[in-house]
Amino acid sequence: MTLPHHQRVEPLTDSPNGDTYGPRILAVCWLVEVLSSIIIGLRVYCKLKRSRALWYDDHILMAAWLFQTVNVAVTTVNVSLGGGQHISQLDPAVIPFLGLSGNVSGTMSITAAMLSKTSFGFTLIRLTNGTMRWFIHVLLITMNVFLALSAVFIWARCTPLAKAWQHGMDGTCWDPAVNTNYGLFSGIYSALVDFALSFLPWPLIWNLQMQLREKIGVALAMSMGVFAGLGAIAKVLQLHNLSNPDSTYPDYKSEIVIWGTVETAVTIMAASIPFLRILVVESRPSRKRQPYTPRFMFSRKFSQERDLVMKEEDWEQLPEVARPAPAVC
């Protein structure tokens, strides 16, 4: 995405009084981007190391990471052109471009959040059956619909479309409160989905034939999404600033950019951490490991059918995260 030749401007530096949020935006966004890249890379490595094909949840999470990376890249360009400063400090020629690229960044951020949560939901679907599986489906479908509408509303709020980033153009736009209120609703619902998906593994894992400490360890690893929920809440608390005309300054949309990026990065890491247990197990020095014991039982309350005991051929289909660690002696 480039500016027309006659509108190109030199990247803006910090204002003399230091009244800019650019450095903080870049520091936070790139920190969580690097961390999430490392963690998802380790997830893929662990799966391939065990000679296991990647499944739907892996591909969806990698797509989320890709959208997140595009979001951070666009945000970096924005900051180089003055994003994070007061509008009064910007070259007027660059403001429409910042508005357009800001819409692109917002769309990428919402899409990345949506996909990352969906990925973890698919992981849980593989471990469940009956009522719990249908409940997860309902959570994922509704969350995707609500967040997708948030992304659409970024673009659909003005007629013609370009008025959303060219404020001097003739046309009409919705009352800013519409986007703000809907953003609050979808953001709160997204956080609730994070919390629900974080706590669902506990009753599921508790019915596995594992040692107590293994149950607690696996359940905690699969509950890291609670931090993504906290990130979503932090973003929601900033959404009231969407209607502020000084939309590039820290007290306004810059905080939304930061927390939106943090939310997705934390979700990616939370969805990947459970799969890294193999690194911990294999790091135990000079201990003889026994193979996995293919016995796994769900309680009746999680199935509409009889209790399920997995057979040998079914064991290989169980995600690595839910297996007991190999016994050591």
Preceding peptide of 160 cis, ω within 30°: yes
Residue 314: DSSP 8-state: H
Q: How far is CA 294 from CA 53, 132, 208, 209, 323, in A?
A: 19, 23, 11, 10, 9
Tokens of residue 274, six digits:
């459970």
d(CA 74, CA 111): 14
Q: Which residues pair with 289 in a beta bridge?
A: 328
d(CA 170, CA 160): 8
The whole-chain average pLDDT of the chain stands at 77
**192 in Cβ contact with 154 (< 8 Å):** no
Q: How much is the pLDDT for 284?
A: 56
**Average pLDDT for consecutive 10-residue bins of the chain (329 residues)?**
43 48 90 96 87 86 97 92 77 83 92 96 87 93 96 92 85 87 93 92 78 79 87 84 51 76 93 79 53 39 34 41 41
Q: Are strands 158-159 and 172-173 parallel, antiparallel or unpaired?
A: antiparallel
Q: How much is the pLDDT for 91?
A: 76
Residue whose C-alpha is closest to residue 194's, from 157, 231, 141, 153: 231
Amino acid letter, residue 108: M
Q: How much is the pLDDT for 185?
A: 94
Q: How much is the pLDDT for 244?
A: 56
Q: Does domain 21-282+295-322 have CATH number 1.20.1070?
A: yes
Give the distance, in angstroms, between the CA of residue 160 and the centroid of all CA atoms in the same chain: 31
Q: How much is the pLDDT for 73?
A: 96
Q: Which residues pair with 17 in a beta bridge?
A: none
Q: Which residues pair with 328 in a beta bridge?
A: 289
Amino acid letter, residue 114: M
End-to-end CA distance of the chain: 59
Q: How far is CA 101 from CA 49, 94, 98, 105, in A?
A: 39, 11, 5, 6
Structural domain boundaries in the chain: 21-282+295-322
Give the distance, in angstroms, between the CA of residue 36 and the centroid of all CA atoms in the same chain: 10
Buried/exposed code over 128-158 (b: 16+ C-beta within 10 A; e: otherwise) = beeebbeebeebbeebbebbeebbebbeebb
DSSP string, 255-276: HHHHHHHHHHHHHHHHHHGGGG
d(CA 146, CA 110): 10
Q: How much is the pLDDT for 292?
A: 42
Global pTM reads 0.77
DSSP3 helix / strand / coil % (the chain, rounded to 5): 70, 5, 30
d(CA 60, CA 115): 6
Q: How much is the pLDDT for 301?
A: 38
Q: H-type helices in 157-242, by residue range? A: 176-199, 201-206, 212-221, 225-236
d(CA 317, CA 312): 10
